[in-house]
């Protein structure tokens, strides 16, 4: 009982156990949550020893302080388990962004799709931008939507649409998030030329600027 060679200095400072408890009077909780009432520290320690367990101070700021009779190893395990649960719930969800263009090569498309799948598995949302320039800005919305959906279809992870496809000043965008049901997303666009089909010079109309042609926004 008490501190062992495996108890770290930080744990010794944080946990007051057995005769290291300074309070003269304690409110005692049993190993199964029983309320043993208020006892002197000597009486509580004697009861813990009788049960072959430890006396652990769990709330030093209460009046009187609260101590629990329990197995130290089991108690520390419960603390770590609760800490992991709190950490999991506190996971920060970010919206990552990736960008494709009509004319992006097949290899780059699959690399971007794999990166998006990794973000989804980490619990993040992913914003996919289809960058448009020249005459592509004025093409039919359903045609452009189909091109964007063809990229979504190669993402190797289950997801659902979190924010529908919309058209903005620089092109189309959509936000997706992981679908825990494992159901694969199916595009609604009809079959046609792939998004990786290079545009003709006449269709391009104008070259995108160096700033606008940036294909991927890396997470900073």
Q: Tens of pLDDT along 108-152? A: 999 999 999 999 998 899 999 999 988 888 888 988 998 899 999
| CATH number of the domain enclosing 183 | 3.30.110.10
* pLDDT per residue as tens digits for the range 36-74: 999 999 999 999 999 999 999 999 989 999 999 999 999
93-110 per-position pLDDT tens digit: 789 999 999 888 899 999
d(CA 141, CA 93): 30
| Within-domain flag for 196 | yes
Give CA torsion, residues 22, 24, 27, 33, to 10 deg: 50
Q: Which two tokens stand for residue 25?
A: 């009077």
The count of domains in the chain is 2
Instruction: Note whether residue 89 is domain-resident.
Output: no
In the structure, what pLDDT confidence band is assigned to residue 184 with cuts at 50, 70 and 90?
confident
What distance in Å separates the CA atoms of residue 112 and residue 3, rounded to the nearest whole number?
52
150-173: pLDDT as tens digits: 999 999 999 999 889 999 889 999
Which domain range does residue 163 map to? 95-204
Task: Answer yes or no: are the C-beta atoms of 179 and 161 closer than 8 Å.
Answer: no
Task: State which H helix or E strand residue 49 sits in.
Answer: helix 41-50
The two structure tokens encoding residue 107: 């290899």
Helix or strand run (H / E) with residue 98: strand 95-101
Do 79 and 103 fall into the same domain?
no
């Amino acid at each position: 009982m008490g501190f062992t060679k495996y108890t770290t200095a930080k744990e010794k400072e944080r946990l007051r156990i057995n005769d290291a408890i300074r309070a003269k009077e304690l409110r005692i909780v049993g190993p199964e949550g029983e309320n043993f009432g208020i006892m002197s520290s000597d009486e509580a320690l004697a009861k813990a020893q009788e049960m072959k367990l430890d006396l652990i101070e769990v709330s030093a700021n209460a009046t009187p302080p609260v101590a629990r009779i329990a197995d130290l190893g089991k108690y520390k395990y419960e603390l770590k388990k609760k800490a992991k649960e709190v950490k999991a719930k506190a996971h920060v969800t970010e919206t990552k962004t990736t960008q494709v263009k009509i004319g992006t090569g097949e290899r780059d498309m699959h690399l971007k799709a794999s990166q998006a799948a990794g973000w989804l598995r980490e619990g993040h949302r992913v914003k996919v931008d289809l960058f448009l320039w020249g005459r592509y800005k004025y093409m039919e919305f359903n045609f452009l939507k189909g091109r964007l959906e063809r990229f979504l279809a190669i993402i190797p992870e289950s997801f659902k649409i979190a924010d529908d496809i919309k058209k903005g000043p620089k092109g189309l965008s959509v936000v997706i998030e992981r679908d825990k049901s494992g159901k694969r997303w199916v595009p609604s666009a009809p079959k046609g030329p792939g998004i990786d089909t290079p545009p003709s010079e006449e269709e391009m109309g104008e070259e995108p600027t160096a700033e606008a042609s940036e294909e991927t926004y890396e997470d900073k």
